[in-house]
Structure 1
Amino acid sequence: MSDHAAQAPVNDPIQLAIRGMTCAACVGRVERALRKLPGVGQADVNFATEVATVQAASGQALSTEVLVNAVEVAGYEAHVVQADAPMGEHEGDAPWRIWLPVALGLAAAIPLMLPMLWGNHHFWPAWFQFLLATPVQFILGARFYRAGWAALRSGAGNMDQLVALGTSAAWALSVWLWWRHPTDAHHAPDLYFESSTVVIALVLLGKALEARAKYQTTAAIRALQALRPDVVHRLGPQGEVDVPLALVTAGDRLVVRPGERVPADGVVAEGRTHVDESLLTGEPLPVSKAEGDRLTGGAINGEGRLVMAVTAVGGQTMLSQIIRRVVDAQASKAPIQQLVDRVSAVFVPVVLLVAVLAGLGAWAWGLPTEAAVIRAVAVLVIACPCALGLATPAAIMAGTGAAARHGILIKDPQALELTHRIAVLAFDKTGTLTEGRPRVSQWLVAASAAADAPGLLAIAAGLQQGSEHPLARAVLAAAQDQEVVPQPLGEVRAVPGRGIEGLEANARRWMLGSTRWRDELGASAPEALQEAASRWAGEGASVSWLMMASPNGAATVQAVFAFGDAVKPHTVAAVRELHRLGVRTVMISGDNRGAAQAIGAQVGIDEVIAEVLPGDKADHVHRLQQPTAPGARATVVGMVGDGLNDAPALAAADVGLAMANPEGGTDVAMQAAGITLMRGDPLLIPAAIDISRRTSRKIRENLVWAFGYNVIGIPLAALGGLSPLLAGAAMAFSSVCVVTNALWLSRWRPADAGDP
């Protein structure tokens, strides 16, 4: 490979699939091997996904060959993960490769274990036990020797060493006793071949069940990856031609037949249909699409034939961004995992010391040498740190996967961990609590300009031509409804947070904007317009003033417009659910106070902050974060927004929640937010908090189980309360229980509007 090919782009994280890790101690060893390399800024290894994410230091480039070599020197296999590689699958992991060793191990272990259940330890002759146990110990168990020796060479400890030492001791002790003592039916010694054989068989069984459970935790990502079709129908000079998806570029025109998946992001060029976007957004109902509407790759076309113009392919599509967001969240470490890493770093040496002390203590107490050795073996076998390594990532994978299936994308474990602590949730109004598609509900012109009402509407529409603001589209729609042609104006420019202005041909300046701007300009308004505006604002409408200023004269109000924006169907239910969760709600809006307070009262918001400029929203978020009492902790504040102007506030909040907006502007909000809601349903907001709380609870449950298992099991084995056989069973059971407990999160679904 050339130097150029081996270099990763600066600041572009590299992901490596790691093979051969068996416990949390392995994770620490791989991380240390990667972090000590020059140019590596951060390296995190996820035990559940078996993926290492390596970030270059600022201004540095990393060689993938050097990274892979460092992992291999540490005793593990590694290869670079391709961007579109299937999640949760590794080369060579065919089911028979996983389950055949388990079947062979159990086939040898069961005959050795059955006589113990009958209370007859001498049922099988020693030579038969030896023939069953030895292949299991040194062929099926070879993986433990290889991995344990690799760890030992690098000066580290891992689970494989514990298993290899424990089972080897039991096997060697049995051989020693067989050789040293007579083996006739009346004087046959107690042998421990069944302990070594059953332990290895149970460890292999536990790892197989663990692998199967871990595979299930990546089901959400695999379901998303499966949404990409392999072949598409591209329109060219020869008509429809089937080509691989990889050959499609932006600007191509593709045919999407009924029942097929949309292959890439684009817009409808021809046709009408309904598309099913449920796996992308969680929206259960098909969405109507016509010419000019956006299409998202992965959606299923309904009844109509479509011709689409491609706007994004490959890693630039929304589907790829969703997959990347979920993968990143599952590959990252939660802050609580740092505690587990510190414990795992010293775990194996401590266990080895405890095992030696347990054996020596039992021998000094007067127990036979073989009994003392078996006690040490039991300590080695039961003290597997697998459950510790799986406790946090398994819960995060299951929780983020379940959330993604229902349209909630969690950026990283930090966002997941903070979301369950949200005490105050701030909302933008338009597009979040309301539909975000305002319309001109009423308008009134000054008496002096009553004769030219259509002309004033034409000027207002002329000011708004080319603007993407929701109120601008409402004015243009009103002009179109009344068949009024917008009047062209010159030098049109937006005044942030206030409105828009432009020049008429006769040099008169026209402004259309907020009450704040009218007051700043000192524009006088007729009493009738003032009364109408106050009444409309009190009813919850947004008010804009059309003002005229001559080159040398003061501004005067010519007309006033009222804009209505309907509250989303589930907004009231969402706010009620947030209150049930103990979250205080605040609305931060740029609308006039009357309109904002009317909406706030309608949906049940606790506090309304109105007439806020877009740049000032972040300041209000900072104010909400201040401790409520001297010496108290800062308040954890979440912010919900849907557009470009909400990005600063989303970034300022402890947790930003970006709500998808079909009108655009969501991409910037997604980058600033820790959580993205893929559809504009307000019920996803309390659902995000709920899944965060449930996931955090599962993490705590798993850690209590994992730590408690070792705190109880190791002393019990050291005192002779567990045989190696039972210790092996308990060790396998612990890891499976941790992952299974996490998988309960896969059954989670958001509350419906009608749920209690």
Structure 2
Amino acid sequence: MNMLTPMPDRAAADEISVDLAIEGMTCASCSGRVERALRKLDGVGLAEVNLASETARVLARGVDAAAMIAAVERAGYGAHVIDPAGDADEAARRERAARRDYEVLAISAALTAPLVIGMIADLAGARFMLPGWLALALATPVQVWIGARFYRAGYKALRAGSANMDVLVALGTSAAYGMSLYLLLRSWMVGGRPVLYFDSSTVVITLILFGKLLEQRGKRQTGAALQALTALRPARATLRAADGTERQVAVGAIRLGDLVVVKPGERIAVDGTIRAGESAIDLSMLTGESVPVSKGVGDPVTGGAINGDGVLLVETTAVGGETTLARIIRLVETAQSGKAPIQALVDRVAAVFVPAVLVVALITLIGWLLAGGTVEHAVLTAVAVLVIACPCSLGLATPTAVMAGTGVAATHGILIKDAETLERARSIDTVAFDKTGTLTQGQPTVVALHAVEGGDPVAVLRLAAAVQRGSEHPLARAVLARAAADGVQPPGAAAVKALPGRGIEAVVNGRRLMLGSGRLLGESGADAGTLRDVAATLEHEGRTVSWLIDRGAVDQADTPAVLGLLAFGDAVKSGSRRAVAALRARGIRVVLLTGDSQGSAAVAAKALGIDEVRAELLPGEKADMVRRLRNEGRIVAMVGDGVNDAPALAAADLGIAMATGSDVAMHTAGITLMRGDPTLVAAALDIANKTFGKIRQGLFWAFAFNTIGIPLAGLGLLNPMIAGAAMAASSVIVVTNALLLRRWRAGR
């Protein structure tokens, strides 16, 4: 079973895709500036920068990674190419950086604490303040050494012709520190007891560092699902040589066709086929399936799955980037690094936000001076405006929610192609299902076999098996299985040709034979005779009927004649009725689109609670039906698993493919369900809706803090310390709110 294939690349064949780690971004305006710098390069077709994951994905033609890195550096940031093989090194680097940040925060807090104690005591009426020289000694390392990161980043931003959060923080804290230094020096020269504001600058810096640490921790947690998937890759495996000896080797050294020994409790290192042994395989991290699946000789296994209590010998069929696990990781990475359409609005706001805040702060300063306020009060009020207006939370609202939502979906076996798909999925109001393999097991069996009067049913089975030899269609497998069970040996066939939506034809023993649907029977002009009533009865029972038609000798133009019919039964999946009920409970219209006969489709629809059925459809007609639904103003998701479903999947607003089906279906789908459980359709729409809800909530908090906070600060109702705390709190709230998606469970 091929569980997953790569999604079609948006880039042309000669385009390259480069993933960059971006260093130094602090807010939405930063990510926007990096994006613009990359897009200015000739040959860059797509550049998407994700603030939450601190990465950029670039599609380009004729541009190498060095040029991209140089463009990012000119914009004032650092960059390096992400090496998939270096995940451990990158994680270690981030861990060291986080440890340094904690140490710096501890030092900043220790230096700030005495200043805060003095301020609190003064507010309490104790009239206690630290000596000016001591306050200066405590504040200067915080402002100059610990705050140097804001000066460096702000300078780079201004040099690149724009402004970001660091500019706001550097200006605000420098104003408070500089004013305090001026008042202190003046008191030393002319005497007096000055009111100093060193505590404002140091507390703001400390609070921002604290908020950034909480924010970084939250961002790491939003990517926890991807990290968990990456951790499924075993580093080493046991290789069995041709002489029967076994040795431990790095997974990267394994080649196609190699035999790998998997011991009980080990993770399977490669995709492959079992050649010896049997065991129960735990696929929960790959498909969300909680119950281990029994596997034996000839069954496929997937790298990253956990072997149960048996020893397996696995022949390798895929390694490296071609394994199912690697493809899943690529899909999740793509979804998490992409931008939802709503982010475009945020980017436009962020592009003008910081310059606008600088103007507002200047107006505040001048306004208070003109109103007769003291210089100290005017400066502190302007500082409060600068500090509270940080656009960090604005830039984090969308990517953190997307990362959390796509990550938790992946752990439940739902792979979402990109952020645009996620946003589109929340609006679906109509779901169209294919029947065979989607709502039914897709493992039909031959339940009835009839020949025309005077004919031989065994001969009908033999000829039908000959026509179907080599086909992978579920009905073909059912025919061949019945022939093998009955001991029927089919003859050879030539000139085999698929008839999409109708059936198949071939030359057998010099005769042109066709096997297919009632539509094929009608188009052939053959007379079914008394078998027509038999077929009607079988279809009324919910059976799928295929007709065997003889078109005569190859070199003759004989009148087509019916030789017999075969009837197939296919059990409905256990979760299909629940899936339909869950969708209808959400107010979603459910439609069944199938190539099966009207009778068979009607029986299945009645059993599942589906009111609207379109049967006997060719692949193109399925797509036309989807377009018709869209023309009615419906937003349509198509769910299918077969080659015949690909046109309809492409025609829908959202294609949802079962990974148990064909490669072509998954190529055209926006969402892939890693196991053939139709209840995941409602779950996929639910997580999309929940994720978009978190995006809206995050943007609300981001805009609310600024919409309310900036006027309050401008009116002098917030001091810089409270403004700094509010700014840090806004980012933490946005990230923490997105993390609540990790508690999502399908069907709850």
TM-score of the two chains, using structure 2 as the length reference: 0.95
Query: Which deviates the most, 694-703 or 453-462?
Result: 453-462
Offset, 1:508:
3.0
Of 549, 552, 560 in structure 1, the residue corresponding to residue 551 of structure 2 is 549
For residues 176-230 of structure 1, the C-alpha deviation after alignment (integer angstroms, 9 at most, x for no partner) is 111213699x952211000000000000001111000000011011111111111
**In 2, Cα distance between the equivalents of 1:509 and 1:306?**
46
Offset, 1:84:
4.1
Secondary structure of 1:255's match? strand
Task: Report whether the alignment pairs 1:137 with 2:143.
Answer: yes
Distance verdict in 2 for CA 1:206–1:475, change over 3 Å: same
Task: Report whether the alignment pairs 1:673 with 2:687.
Answer: no
Of 109, 115, 118 in structure 2, the residue corresponding to residue 115 of structure 1 is 118
Percent identity over the alignment is 53
Task: Report whether the alignment pairs 1:510 with 2:510.
Answer: no
**In 1, Cα distance between the equivalents of 2:189 and 2:13?**
68
Secondary structure of 1:41's match? strand
Task: Report whether the alignment pairs 1:687 with 2:683.
Answer: yes
Offset, 1:735:
0.3
Partner of 1:366: 372
Partner of 2:9: none
Distance verdict in 2 for CA 1:375–1:457, change over 3 Å: same
Partner of 1:326: 332
Partner of 2:652: 653
Distance verdict in 2 for CA 1:232–1:167, change over 3 Å: same
Partner of 1:421: 427
Distance verdict in 2 for CA 1:460–1:615, change over 3 Å: same
Task: Report whether the alignment pairs 1:603 with 2:608.
Answer: yes
Q: Any conservation in 1 of the 2:238–2:248 contact (CA below 8 Å)?
A: yes
Offset, 1:616:
2.5
Partner of 1:699: 695
Partner of 2:5: none
Equivalent positions of 1:139-178 (< 5 A) are 139-178=145-184
Task: Report whether the alignment pairs 1:274 with 2:280.
Answer: yes
The runs of at least 4 aligned residues of structure 1 exceeding 4 Å deviation read none
Secondary structure of 1:232's match? strand
**In 2, Cα distance between the equivalents of 1:473 and 1:737?**
55
Offset, 1:376:
0.6
Q: Which 5+ residue runs of structure 1 have no aligned equivalent?
A: 1-7, 628-633
**In 2, Cα distance between the equivalents of 1:255 and 1:548?**
51
Amino acid at match of 1:681: D
Offset, 1:281:
0.3
Secondary structure of 1:13's match? strand
Q: Any conservation in 2 of the 1:121–1:190 contact (CA below 8 Å)?
A: no
Corresponding pairs, count: 728
Distance verdict in 2 for CA 1:326–1:293, change over 3 Å: same
For residues 646-676 of structure 1, the C-alpha deviation after alignment (integer angstroms, 9 at most, x for no partner) is 2221111111111121xx52x3222211111
Q: Any conservation in 2 of the 1:259–1:302 contact (CA below 8 Å)?
A: yes
Amino acid at match of 1:80: V
Partner of 1:570: 575
Equivalent positions of 1:717-728 (< 5 A) are 717-728=713-724
Secondary structure of 2:545's match? strand
Partner of 1:247: 253
Of 399, 403, 406 in structure 1, the residue corresponding to residue 405 of structure 2 is 399
Query: Which deviates the most, 477-486 or 428-437?
Result: 477-486
**In 2, Cα distance between the equivalents of 1:236 and 1:165?**
67
Secondary structure of 1:523's match? coil
Of 312, 316, 320 in structure 2, the residue corresponding to residue 310 of structure 1 is 316
Partner of 1:490: 494
Of 67, 89, 100 in structure 1, the residue corresponding to residue 103 of structure 2 is 100
Equivalent positions of 1:629-644 (< 5 A) are 634-644=633-643
Of 195, 202, 205 in structure 1, the residue corresponding to residue 200 of structure 2 is 195
Q: Any conservation in 2 of the 1:10–1:62 contact (CA below 8 Å)?
A: no
**In 2, Cα distance between the equivalents of 1:129 and 1:20?**
30
Q: Any conservation in 2 of the 1:182–1:189 contact (CA below 8 Å)?
A: no
Offset, 1:90:
6.8
**In 1, Cα distance between the equivalents of 2:361 and 2:287?**
53
Task: Report whether the alignment pairs 1:80 with 2:81.
Answer: yes
**In 1, Cα distance between the equivalents of 2:140 and 2:277?**
70
Distance verdict in 2 for CA 1:85–1:415, change over 3 Å: farther
Offset, 1:390:
0.2
Partner of 2:734: 738
Task: Report whether the alignment pairs 1:10 with 2:14.
Answer: yes
Amino acid at match of 2:467: L
Equivalent positions of 1:523-534 (< 5 A) are 523-527=526-530, 529-534=531-536
Secondary structure of 2:19's match? strand
Amino acid at match of 1:473: R
Amino acid at match of 2:84: A
Task: Report whether the alignment pairs 1:626 with 2:613.
Answer: no
TM-score of the two chains, using structure 1 as the length reference: 0.94
Secondary structure of 1:181's match? helix
Distance verdict in 2 for CA 1:578–1:85, change over 3 Å: farther
Q: Any conservation in 2 of the 1:182–1:188 contact (CA below 8 Å)?
A: no
**In 1, Cα distance between the equivalents of 2:117 and 2:725?**
15
Q: Which 5+ residue runs of structure 2 have no aligned equivalent?
A: 1-11
Query: Which deviates the most, 118-127 or 575-584?
Result: 118-127
Secondary structure of 2:16's match? coil
Amino acid at match of 1:688: A
Distance verdict in 2 for CA 1:244–1:393, change over 3 Å: same
Amino acid at match of 2:649: L
Partner of 2:7: none
For residues 340-384 of structure 1, the C-alpha deviation after alignment (integer angstroms, 9 at most, x for no partner) is 101111111111111111111111111111111111111111110
Secondary structure of 1:366's match? coil
Offset, 1:267:
1.2
For residues 322-354 of structure 1, the C-alpha deviation after alignment (integer angstroms, 9 at most, x for no partner) is 111111111011100011101111111111111
**In 1, Cα distance between the equivalents of 2:94 and 2:513?**
71
**In 1, Cα distance between the equivalents of 2:396 and 2:611?**
41
For residues 136-169 of structure 1, the C-alpha deviation after alignment (integer angstroms, 9 at most, x for no partner) is 0011110000000011111100000100110011
Amino acid at match of 2:34: V
Of 53, 56, 67 in structure 2, the residue corresponding to residue 52 of structure 1 is 56
Amino acid at match of 1:671: H
Q: Any conservation in 2 of the 1:228–1:297 contact (CA below 8 Å)?
A: yes
Secondary structure of 1:67's match? helix
Q: Any conservation in 2 of the 1:218–1:398 contact (CA below 8 Å)?
A: yes
Q: Any conservation in 2 of the 1:546–1:557 contact (CA below 8 Å)?
A: yes
Partner of 1:299: 305
**In 2, Cα distance between the equivalents of 1:411 and 1:68?**
27
CA RMSD of aligned residues (A): 1.7
Secondary structure of 2:46's match? strand
Partner of 2:23: 19
Of 438, 443, 446 in structure 2, the residue corresponding to residue 437 of structure 1 is 443
**In 1, Cα distance between the equivalents of 2:525 and 2:72?**
70
Of 221, 224, 229 in structure 1, the residue corresponding to residue 229 of structure 2 is 224
Partner of 1:30: 34
Offset, 1:597:
1.2
Query: Which deviates the most, 42-51 or 78-87?
Result: 78-87
Distance verdict in 2 for CA 1:672–1:536, change over 3 Å: same
Partner of 1:630: none
Q: Any conservation in 2 of the 1:509–1:548 contact (CA below 8 Å)?
A: yes
Offset, 1:273:
1.1
Offset, 1:92:
4.9
**In 1, Cα distance between the equivalents of 2:56 and 2:152?**
21
Offset, 1:456:
2.2
Amino acid at match of 1:548: D
